[in-house]
Amino acid sequence: MTVTDFIALAPILALGTCCIVTMLVIALRRNHATIAIISGSSCLVTLATLPVAATVAPHTVTALLIVDGYGLFYMGLLLAATTVVIALSHGYLRLHGTGHEEVEEFYLLMLLATLGGLVIVTAAHFASFFLGLELIGVSLYSLIGYLRTRRGPLEAALKYLILSSTASAFLLFGMALMYFHTGTMAFAEMGAGMTAESPFPAVGMTGFVFILIGVGFKLGLVPLHLWIPDVYQGAPAPVTAYIATVSKGAVFALLLQFIGDIHALHSDRINLALGLIAAASMFAGNFLALQQDNVKRLLAYSSIAHFGYLLVALLASGPLATEAVTFYLVAYVVTTLGAFGVVTVLSTKARDAESIEDYRGLVWSHPWLTATFTVMLLSLIGIPVTAGFVGKFYAITAGMNAGLFWLVILLVLNSAIGAYYYLRLLITFFHSTSEKGAESARSSETLLEWGAIISLGLTASLVLWLGLYPQPMIAFVKDMVVSRGQ
């Protein structure tokens, strides 16, 4: 290890140090507000180290990690999203943190999961890939079931534990098969070995399929999507926001890097398989969302469809595909944070605000929350002047340039289907207030803290800014792609 290595690893080392500091402070003195502030500050301090690491990027640290513009960009995205989730969590946990619950470790687990995300987006080797993935997974088991006095979180945590362990087994077996064929676990070296034969060799293909099963579970792609609605519904609202953004964003960033490094899209069979998965995810996610009266399950199924859209952009391959995926992920993360942020602040001590009835007449009780949620839903639909529109336009452009006309047609068709259930929820905001909704509105007042207000205001502003003036972000994303040498 050299000084340059340590500079390149500054974000990971900084967040790791902050995790230790947070743990020691919890051991010395429990105070919810103090730990929340330390956790949020930890993310901001780590964000401040990104320019430092950029001075030596691109730089390979041993065979395990590569710190370049691509990795630093996604590090920034994950850290910013975690900061927002921490801000949203304080009011939510303050409501649930009396009596049986001690809430301070919640923030420590979230920082550890984010540390795993930073490792994943810079991974260049199976060892670092699996280490980061399991650091996220083990932390999420506890985060999902953190409110142990409620049945829903415990049930969701158990389901996630069992299914995630199974997915990890598939992932390890796939890694073993690819190592058996190529004799290496480094992505770049593996790519040279995988392209030495044409078509894709049988052992390598089998290994890739097993890895795709493991990654597909983490992303909730069809047919590995069944856990998504149950876990989204059962997990505490801030944890659901974290899973939908930080966890999934890190894994998809890794998938994009891994597929590019091993040249997987040179195989027609892999292209066809991923295309079918994308189509199935789009249709299954949207049609299942049509049947939902539970907002968290509706957003869960819609997330399945959105990652189907992302696969269309990924299949385009090349620099434009990387740009499209990255911009779409930024738009999706910001929009989803805002949507689940509204769910979080409307939640009560008894339950999360997950029924559509909880949002009936929202415009009369919380006009600014209505405006925020409306912006998020319009972005998820892909309405112009929102980030979601630019993201979908980018994905469609990448697909058209790559000749993926059938997938682009399915993307447009499914976007139209998705508009129905988003608009159905949006119209509910303007209905007369039900007794159940009025009770939820009164009970949610305690969650409207400055941290949540600022976070929701920033996410709404970003969604509109990225929709109205996306050029700076597009230019930044292009610079990131060039720095990666794609």
Q: What is the mean pLDDT of each run of 10 residues along the chain (486 residues)?
A: 89 94 91 90 94 89 88 93 92 71 86 94 92 92 85 87 90 90 84 58 84 91 89 91 93 90 83 93 93 90 94 87 91 94 85 84 85 93 91 91 90 92 89 56 53 88 92 88 58
Q: Nearest 5 degrees, angle CA 468-CA 471-CA 476? A: 135
Q: 123: closest CA among 236, 256, 283?
A: 256
Distance from C-alpha of 117 to C-alpha of 136, rounded to nearest angstrom: 7
Distance from C-alpha of 116 to C-alpha of 47, rounded to nearest angstrom: 15
Distance from C-alpha of 339 to C-alpha of 451, rounded to nearest angstrom: 16
Q: Nearest 5 degrees, angle CA 169-CA 175-CA 180? A: 130
SS3 of 67, please? strand
Distance from C-alpha of 171 to C-alpha of 208, rounded to nearest angstrom: 9
Distance from C-alpha of 86 to C-alpha of 341, rounded to nearest angstrom: 11
Peptide bond between residue 236 and the one before it cis (omega within 30 degrees of 0): no
pTM across the whole model = 0.92
- Residue in this structure with the two tokens 């600014």, named with its chain if needed: 368
Q: 84: closest CA among 299, 328, 336?
A: 336
Q: Which residues touch 407 (CB under 8 Å, ≥6 apart)? A: 275, 278, 279, 312, 315, 399
Alpha carbon separation from 398 to 171, 314, 354 (Å, rounded): 29, 9, 35
pLDDT at site 194:
60
Distance from C-alpha of 118 to C-alpha of 15, rounded to nearest angstrom: 9
pLDDT at site 101:
61
Under a CB-based contact definition with an 8 Å cutoff, are residues 231 and 144 in contact? yes
What interhelical angle do 151-182 and 126-144 show, nearest 10?
Answer: 170
Question: How many helices (H) does the chain have, and how many strands (E)?
Answer: 22, 2
pLDDT at site 311:
93
Q: Which residues touch 273 (CB under 8 Å, ≥6 apart)? A: 209, 212
Distance in Å from the first CA to the final CA of the chain: 27
Under a CB-based contact definition with an 8 Å cutoff, are residues 221 and 306 in contact? no
SS3 of 383, please? coil
SS3 of 389, please? helix
For the chain, helix, strand, coil in percent to 5 are 80, 0, 20
SS3 of 65, please? strand
pLDDT at site 446:
42
Distance from C-alpha of 92 to C-alpha of 175, rounded to nearest angstrom: 40
DSSP letters for 242-266: HIIIIIHHHHHHHHHHHHHHTTGGG
CB contact burial 250-282 (16+ within 10 A = b; e otherwise):
bbbbbbbbbbbbbbbbebeebbeebbebbbbbb
pLDDT at site 184:
85
